[in-house]
Amino acid sequence: MTGFLAKLGTSLAERWLSLLVLPGVLWAAAAAAASRVGQADPFDPQPLVDWLRSIAAQPTEHRTTWLAVAGAVGVLASAGAGLAASGLASALENLWAARGTRPPLAWIVRARQWRWNAVRASARFRIAEANNPSLIGTELTRARAAARRAQRRRLAGPPRPPQRPTSIAERFDVSAGRSRALYGLDLNLAWPRLWSVLPDVLRADVTAARDAYASAARLAGWGLMYAALAVLWWPAVLPGVVVVAVAAARARTAAGVLADLIDTATDLYLVDLAGRLGVPTATLSAFETGRAIAERLTRPQHATVPAPATRTP
């Protein structure tokens, strides 16, 4: 046990170092450089060069003391930046998966619905225009090309009007609705129990997808941290925005994979969960099995319902 705890402490320290401190060192260095360059002439590196030269020109004992103090302050600033980025990442994870039932997220839902309707209206208009018998020659060719572009935009979007403020929340909502429609089951209620019956391979895949989603959120958090340096040096907003955009794309991909794996786990191992809970499934359909599991988890059990199955050692 002592060896296990020592190894666990080492792995946690390495994870903390790689996820928080090292990226924080880069951010702290960027913040120091941005504060020296400033806003007056943001593309002139001379103030930064002069500052570094002034440090190098100090006497050895003064320079050593300054470097020691700067190193300590840098480590603290790096850790603080890492914690701030981690907090932003957690907030972004919740924001991306938010239901959007209240303003201001509800306004985003209405804006997405308006855009969805506008894309379909544009496709209908362009298709009708391309079928206009009065068009000939170049006008007809342009109208048909415009109709094809509008149709591709329509097909690239979701098949139903958006109900959530983000595509990630939409994908998770599709999985939850699928579980309710096919199995009459609330995933929030069943997932902790379902997780316990999944094989190690599928668990590892789900964990990897979840880690990829969290990693994308951390990357977006660092992007926001770098964009915040614009108060010291305005060009910092450009790489910050790029990093956030890349992180959002990665988060959508990871969320899609995670939702697909959750659907797979529900499809393949719902009967196993029913067996572990003591729910008879021989004469039940898939939907009836899901409803029976929901009742087993939410209602007092009748004396005739068998006890949950247990594993023999």
pLDDT digits (tens, 9 = 90+) for 88-117: 999 999 999 988 888 888 999 999 999 999
Choose between 51 and 290: higher pLDDT. Answer: 290
pTM: 0.79
Percentage above 70 pLDDT, the chain: 86
Burial 194-218 (b: 16+ CB within 10 A, else e): beebbeeeeeebbeebbebbbbbbb
pLDDT at res. 129: 87
pLDDT at res. 83: 83
pLDDT at res. 300: 57
Mean pLDDT of 218-246: 92
Kindly report the CA angle at 65 between 59 and 67, in degrees rounded to 5? 95
pLDDT at res. 208: 92
Choose between 10 and 147: higher pLDDT. Answer: 147
Chain-centre distance of CA 35, in angstroms?
31
Average pLDDT, the chain: 82
Q: Which of 208, 213, 207, 224 is nearest to 23 (CA)?
A: 224
Q: What is the pLDDT of residues 57-69, one digit of tens each?
A: 767 666 677 667 7
pLDDT class for 244, splitting at 50, 70, 90?
A: very high
Report the first-to-last Cα separation within the chain, whole angstroms: 22
Mean pLDDT of 244-266: 93
Determine how many CB atoms are found less than 10 A away from the CB of residue 244: 19
Choose between 137 and 301: higher pLDDT. Answer: 137
Percentage above 90 pLDDT, the chain: 33
CA distances from 21 to 128, 213, 247 (A): 59, 20, 20
Residue given tokens 């390495």 in the structure block: 14
pLDDT at res. 130: 86
For the ranges 37-41, 75-79, 134-138, 246-250, the maximum mean pLDDT occurs at 246-250
Q: Is the pLDDT of residue 5 over 50?
A: no
